[in-house]
Amino acid sequence: MNTLVSTLDSSRPMNGMSSRRVWAAYVEEARSECLRYLRNPGFLLPTLLFPSVFYLMFGIFLGHANGPDAPRYLLASYGTFGVMAPGLFGFGVSLALERDTGLLTLKRALPMPAGAYLLGKMIMAMMVAAIVAMLLLSMATFLAHASLSFSQMLSLFGTDLFGVLPFCGLGLLLGTLIKGQGAPGLVNMIYLPMAFLSGLWFPLSMMPALIQQLAPVWPSYHLNQLALSAVGLGQTAVWPHVLVLCAYTVAFVWWAARRLRRYG
């Protein structure tokens, strides 16, 4: 079976297509991916509702009872939790299903530019992450009355927007490892424990020492540290976490490309 690896190679020529048509093909693929997921309530509603409901319960109803910084702390944590899902499910589950059903093979047979398939899914994941971030920021501002400056809100929005990319890479890798039918359950078995072990639901200081020591293993931990820094609650330098997330993204994509080259 033809693999997706060639879509990572932007050097493939598009014979007979002008640069304008190539650009239009990129735009059309991104548009179709976004519309496809926006029209899929099974994907969109859980992705938007889970972090929103958790923040409503713990960041708004119970937030100020845990201290004045609790709404901001939980905004960062549940924002990280929320933006993990578009990457993991938008790439992992959909790629596994599209490999099984042959849709991936069909897309590669279309006169579509190299990389348009992956770029379309990446834009879709970033768009959903932006919706999650704006929804949580609105709740924090108007319901929780969290003390956030405009620069902090902008910084958190940017962190969540680009923070989805490592999970796109992880989702891409998972899509090469699992079959379509069992993909949702298996992705959830990674998504939820990783969120818990990264301190997104409870502060790491409340967890056993072993969990605290292993937390930096997870990319969600590093994204959460960046989110906490964005809202003024960070206790560590920013750039080490950025570099770790970039390394995770490159490693996941490289591993996924290698598997696709070998197994299709």
Question: What would the 3-class secondary structure string for 108-161 be?
Answer: HHCCCCCCHHHHHHHHHHHHHHHHHHHHHHHHHHHCCCCCCCHHHHHHHHHHHH
pLDDT at 17: 66
pLDDT at 16: 57
* Tokens linked to 40: 């899929």
What is d(CA 125, CA 103) in angstroms, rounded to the nearest whole number?
19
Mean pLDDT along residues 112-141:
90
Residue 168 has pLDDT above 60, yes or no: yes
What does the mean pLDDT of the chain come to?
Answer: 87
pLDDT at 22: 80
Q: Name the H helices within the chain.
A: 19-38, 41-54, 70-87, 94-101, 103-109, 116-142, 150-163, 165-177, 183-197, 209-214, 219-230, 239-263
Mean pLDDT along residues 132-143:
95
Tens-digit pLDDT profile for residues 55-103: 999 888 876 667 778 899 999 999 999 999 999 998 889 888 888 888 7
Residue 166 has pLDDT above 60, yes or no: yes
pLDDT at 1: 41
Residue 245 has pLDDT above 90, yes or no: yes
Residue 15 has pLDDT above 80, yes or no: no
pLDDT at 114: 62
Burial code (b: 16+ CB inside 10 Å, e: under 16) for 202-226 equals: eebeebeeeeeeebeebbbbbbbbb
Mean pLDDT along residues 155-167:
97
* Dihedral sign from CA coordinates of 223, 227, 229, 233: negative
* Tokens linked to 123: 């834009």
pLDDT at 32: 87
What is d(CA 196, CA 215) in angstroms, rounded to the nearest whole number?
10
pLDDT at 264: 59
* pLDDT category of residue 236 using cuts at 50, 70 and 90: confident
Mean pLDDT along residues 210-221:
95
pTM: 0.88
DSSP 8-state code for residue 202: S
Between residues 195 and 29, which one has the greater pLDDT? 195
